[in-house]
Amino acid sequence: MSLRRALIVALSAVLGFAVSAFSEGVNVGEPSKLRNLVPAKQVEQSATQQYSQMLKEAETQRALAHHDHPQLLRLRTIADKLIPYAERFNSRAKEWKWEVNLIGSKQLNAFCMPGGKIVFYTGILDKLKLTDDEAAMIMGHEIAHALREHARERMAKSTLTNLGASVLGELVGGGKYSGAFRLGGDLLSLKFSRSDETEADIVGLDIAARAGYDPRAGVTLWQKMMAANKNAPPEFLSTHPAGDSRIKDIERRLPDVMPLYEAARQG
């Protein structure tokens, strides 16, 4: 047990009450207010439609994993452990109809669409030979994007750019142009910023640690990812933080999340 957690437990005993593990962990502040310019339900409905279409296409191509596929069962077990801790970062998550599916593809990719629609590609599991802890780090990261509503925020920023300053003034002032925020294009094509990716790493560590997955797996995961992407572009050419920077950020956050992992193991 860490010194920090030992002090908390000791203080709890003196004061006569138990301190929940939820008082610990990461604090990433409030999500961007810009996301409020795009209706959440509209984004989630669009995500559900696109998700369903993607599954149909995968099924047609015989790439959608059957419900008893061992890797799919493994992923759904991990998700069942992570999802109960999602509400801490987004109260609406308890209303989401969560889904987890596996698609046969060589891509090293996984994602969670708005509303809790999760997909892993077999390539990321097979090529990186992910442990359960490492798979949980990826899933926690992708879930964090959905919880922090990064897609919704990116849509709002994109639409603001298109609308221009004059329309924005009217929209913010009276709200009468709120209907101008329409959802177009593919949600999967949205590119998150570096800050979005870093935030998702941090929140994902917290969620996975609470679920009993070792957050130190975030380091080994990115070591594997770097080895598999030796020809990746330099950090300044990508919205994603480079692997070594990502590892350093994760290592800096381990003292915040290791007590959660230790508590989960003891519980």
Q: Is the Cα dihedral 36, 47, 70, 121 positive or negative?
A: negative
Reference 146, options 80, 212, 205, 192; nearest CA is 192
Q: Which of 99, 142, 153, 199 is catalytic?
A: 142
Write phi, then psi, for 68 (nearest 5 degrees). Answer: -105, 15
Name beta bridge partners: 124.
Answer: none
DSSP 180-201: G----S-GGG----HHHHHHHH
* DSSP at 91: G
**Distance between CA atoms of 136 and 239, rounded to whole angstroms?**
22
Distances (CA, A) of 61 to 56, 58, 100, 112: 9, 5, 18, 22
| 44 classed as catalytic | no
Task: Report the amino acid identity of residue 250.
Answer: I
Residue 214 tokens read as: 């070792």
**Distance between CA atoms of 250 and 253, rounded to whole angstroms?**
5
Write out the catalytic residue numbers. Answer: 142
